[in-house]
Structures are given as structure tokens and as C-alpha cells.
Structure 1
Amino acid sequence: MTSNFQRALGEGGFGIVYHGYLNGSEEVAVKVELLLRVHHTNLVSLVGYCDERGHLALIYEYMSNVDLKHHLSGKHDVSILKWSTRLRIAIDAALGLEYLHIGCRPSMVHRDVKSTNILLDDQFTAKIADFGLSRSFQLGDESHISTVVAGTPGYLDPETGRLAEMSDVYSFGIVLLEMMTNQRVIDQNREKRHITEWVALVLNRGDITKIMDPNLYGDYNSNSVWKALELAMSCANPSSEKRPSMSQVISVLKECLTSENLMRNKNHDMESDSSLELTKSFDTEVVPRAR
């Protein structure tokens, strides 16, 4: 239709528009959607589409473990996600967003990052979904203004109106706080309604255990948790200039996971040593030695 995308007419928020011919004669403008050029292991893949008798459908890969919110809500018969698993999920989601921000050309802003848009496969690999609000922008172009406020209340960047990757960073920070605390993002019955305000209030009291999801029963490395909490609050900073990039987010989250894994390996080694000591003691005191 477009003779291999020979003539570009322009570029809008949802992709490049090409000149083409319908049925070889009728001139048309063909918009190539962003979905067709987005490919990453941490983004839900578009398998195909259906256009049959006026019924339109997009077909995506199946994610058997539903979404992150499903596993945090406590309303379903699902196992509690360990802190190390939550960190891996956070890293996966961050990698997907990093790809949108610096791996795509032109770059993309998701604009609706939230826990229900982070889907999980059978191995609990996380993938970002729902690009319905996504928009492209020129990297480093701070002049791009979006006149329509898009996103979900609670996750929305307080610096609304500017279309930039830092808006996704803010939303990701809210998701990270949600993963850590298992608190609602907005709760009218809480002392502080918004999760950032509530966390800041509890932080002033200096007790990390009051912030973390009680379902974890303290099974986490405190250094890992503090670092992740500082990162989340940095992402959710009201000033976009003070927020880290997604690449910086990934780096810190990997450090958190490494710290957590080191603690678990150390504990495992200690348990093994303890078990070995018991065995030695048993052999010495009860079982006759070979002579």
C-alpha cells in the first residue's frame, strides 16, 4: 500500500503517517502504530490483530499469573510474593520502561504505569502492558506539552502537562512503594491519604517495619529495603528534575537484589554449618567411631 513506506507525510503522537494507495488508485494516509515497533522481553507482545465484519481486536501474549496488583491485594488465593521476587519484578518492569525511554526511536512515554499494568507470566517475569495512552516524543525535547491529562489518579505526576519520561519514573516510584508496603495508593481512611505522604510520615518515626508489608514477616535484608525505599521516594519526588532516570533505577534495584541474595546465601550457609555441627556432635557422642 505504501510502496515499502516510501513517502512519509508526517509524524503524530501515535506514529509516522505514510502516503499510500488503496486498491491501487485511491490515495490514503497510512498511520503506522507504535505497537508494531515495540519489541522487548519485558513488554507484553502484540501477537496480531483481527478485523472481521467490523469487529476489531488486538491479540496479545497470554500472561498466566495475571498482574502485580492481583498478588499484592490479598483478596485472592495466591502465595505471598517474597521480597526478592518483588525486587525481580521491579527490575523487569524498570527494564521495560527503560526500553521505551531510550531503546525506541522515537522514544515513548507510557503514561499509565501502575500495578495492574505490570503483568506476570508463569515464571513471574514481569512485562509492561497497556500502551493505550502511550505517546512518542523526541529524546531530550522538554518542550513537548500534552494538553490532556492521562493516567490513573494516585500514580499521576504532580507536574502534569509535560510529556517526558520522568512522568513514568514518578509512576514507577508509586508502584515500588505499593510493592513494599502493600498499601493502597490512595486511602481515604488513612492518616495520610496518598501513599507518598503516609510513607514520609512513618519514615519520620524511623521504623522500617511499620512501612513494609506485614505479610513478609520481616523476611528481608534491611539494607536492601532502605535502599529501595530511598529510591522509591526519589522517583516520586514532586520535582521531576530530582528524579533518577530508569537506567539509574535499574542499577539501584540490582544492588538491592544482590544485597538480598547475599543475605539469603549467608543464612543458608549458616544453617548448613549449624546442621553440620549437629551431625558432628551426634556422631561423636552417640555413634561409636570406627577404629
Structure 2
Amino acid sequence: MTNNFQRALGEGGFGIVYHGYLNGSEEVAVKVELLLRVHHTNLVSLVGYCDERGHLALIYEYMSNVDLKHHLSGKHDVSILKWSTRLRIAIDAALGLEYLHIGCRPSMVHRDVKSTNILLDDQFTAKIADFGLSRSFQLGDESHISTVVAGTPGYLDPETGRLSEMSDVYSFGIVLLEMMTNQRVIDQNREKRHITEWVALVLNRGDITKIMDPNLYGDYNSNSVWKALELAMSCANPSSEKRPSMSQVISVLKECLTSENLMRNKNHDMESDSSLELTKSFDTEVVPRAR
């Protein structure tokens, strides 16, 4: 179509634009770089495309467990995600975003990070999807700053005039709060409409159990929860300069998961010891004693 990418028309947010011909006669502008150069285990893979009799389609890998929102909504017949599983999903999603920010050359900003764009496979591995609003930027250039507003209400960076990697960090912070609370991002019937305002209000009252998803029934390590909550609020800071990078986010989330797993292993060991003591006690009672 482009005669081996012979003629470049320019370079925009979606990569280099090439001149080409459709069906050998109709002149077209071809944007190909964005989707073809993105490869990461935590990004939904592009399998191919279809252009048949006027039907255009992009073909992606199948994600059998739908999206994160599906499992948090409570409207579907699905099992409740444990806190440790939610942390693993958060880490997966963060790894995908980190790759876009520092693994791609030039770097990319997703611009529409939200729970419905975090898809889950049959092993509940999370992958970032929907690059429809993604934008590519040259490194070391002021072009990484964009004034184009894009995204979904509630997840949008309040600093809409300065769209950068930190905008994805803000949106991720909102997703993390959503995962923890199972609350709507924007709820007109809530005391505080936006989830960040509601969490801040409840935090001031000092009861974290009122923040966490009640479907978890308190089955989580409080240390890991507090650390994750502090991280989420830091990501959702109104000032982009005060937000962590995705690499820092990953580091903290891994600490949270380690803390959670240590608690579970400790509880398991205590249950095993208790079971052993019960067995010993039971055996000594039923075995006939010498008279």
C-alpha cells in the first residue's frame, strides 16, 4: 500500500503517517506505527486486521474474564476478587503502563485508563486495552505536553491543560481506589460525588473499614491496605508534580502484595499448628490407657 513506506507525510501523536494507494488507485494516508510497535505481556496484543469488502476491523487476543469493572460491579454471577488478587491485577496494569511510558520509543500516554480498559485472561492476568486515544511523544521534547482533552469523566486528570505520563498515573490512582472501595467513580447520590473526595472524607473519620469493599469482609492485611490507599491518593493528587511515576507505583504495590502474602502464610501456619495440636489432643483422649 505504501510502496515499502516510501513517502512519509509527517509524524503525529499516533506515529509516522505514510502516503499510499488503496486498491492501486485511491490515495490514502497510512498510520501504522502505534499498534505494531507495542508488545508487552500486560498489553492486549494486536493479532491482525481485516479489510474485506468495506469491512474494517482490528483483531485482538481474546480475554476470557472480561474486564475489571465486570468483576467489581456485583451485577454479574462472578466470584469476589480477593484483595491479593486485586493487588496482582493492579501490578499487571501498572507494568503495562510503565512499558508505555518508558519502554516505548518514543514514549506513549494511554489517556483513557479505567477499569473497563483493564482486561483479564483465564488466569486473571491483567492487560491494558483500548489504545484509541493513545498518543506518542518524542523523549526530551516539550511535545510530551498536550492540551487536547481526552478520556473518561471521573478518571480525567484535573490538570487537563498539561497531558503527560502523569495523567495516566492520575487515572490509575482512580482505578486503584475503585478496586479498593468498589464504589462508583462518580456517584450523584453520595455525600461526596467524586471517589477521591469521598475517600478523603471517610479517611478523616479514621475508619478504613468504611472505605474497603464490604464484600471482602475484612479479609485483608491492614498494613497493605493503608499503604495501597496512601499510594492511590498520591497518584490522584491534583498536582502532577506530586504524583509518583509508574515505576514507583509498581514498587509500592509489590510491597503491599508481599505484606498481604506474609499475613496469609502466617495465618495458614497458625491454622496448621492449631490443627496439629487438636490432632494430638484427640489422639491422647481416645487411645485406651493402661490400668
When normalised by structure 1's length, the TM-score is 0.94
Q: Separation in 1 of the partners of 2:231 and 2:6?
A: 45
Does the CA contact (< 8 Å) of 1:14 and 1:34 recur in 2?
yes
TM-superposed CA distance for 1:116, in Å, is 0.4
Q: CA RMSD in A?
A: 2.2
Post-superposition CA distance 1:17-55 (Å, at most 9, x none): 245677889986543240111111111111111111111
Say how many residue pairs are matched: 291
* 3-state SS in 2 of match to 1:206: coil
Deviates more, 1:4-13 or 1:95-104: 4-13
Post-superposition CA distance 1:50-69 (Å, at most 9, x none): 11111111111111111000
Change (3 A) 1:174 1:142: farther
Post-superposition CA distance 1:86-133 (Å, at most 9, x none): 000000000000010011111110000000000001110000000000
Does the CA contact (< 8 Å) of 1:137 and 1:163 recur in 2?
no
Does the CA contact (< 8 Å) of 1:111 and 1:167 recur in 2?
yes
Q: Separation in 2 of the partners of 1:39 and 1:215?
A: 35
Does the CA contact (< 8 Å) of 1:142 and 1:164 recur in 2?
no
When normalised by structure 2's length, the TM-score is 0.94
Does the CA contact (< 8 Å) of 1:100 and 1:109 recur in 2?
yes
Unaligned runs of 5+ in 1: none
Does the CA contact (< 8 Å) of 2:147 and 2:160 recur in 1?
no
Percentage identity across aligned positions?
Answer: 99
Change (3 A) 1:15 1:289: farther
Other-structure match for 1:286 = 286
Change (3 A) 1:231 1:140: farther
Post-superposition CA distance 1:179-221 (Å, at most 9, x none): 0000000001111000000000000111110000000000000
* 3-state SS in 2 of match to 1:247: helix
Does the CA contact (< 8 Å) of 1:174 and 1:185 recur in 2?
yes
TM-superposed CA distance for 1:165, in Å, is 0.4
Does the CA contact (< 8 Å) of 2:48 and 2:58 recur in 1?
yes
Change (3 A) 1:6 1:190: same
Q: Separation in 2 of the partners of 1:289 and 1:154?
A: 71
Post-superposition CA distance 1:157-182 (Å, at most 9, x none): 00002231000000000000000000
1:65-214 equivalence runs, <5 A: 65-214=65-214
Does the CA contact (< 8 Å) of 2:146 and 2:164 recur in 1?
no
Q: Separation in 2 of the partners of 1:266 and 1:200?
A: 32
Q: Separation in 1 of the partners of 2:290 and 2:4?
A: 82
Deviates more, 1:190-199 or 1:32-41: 32-41
Does the CA contact (< 8 Å) of 1:170 and 1:236 recur in 2?
yes
Change (3 A) 1:243 1:51: same
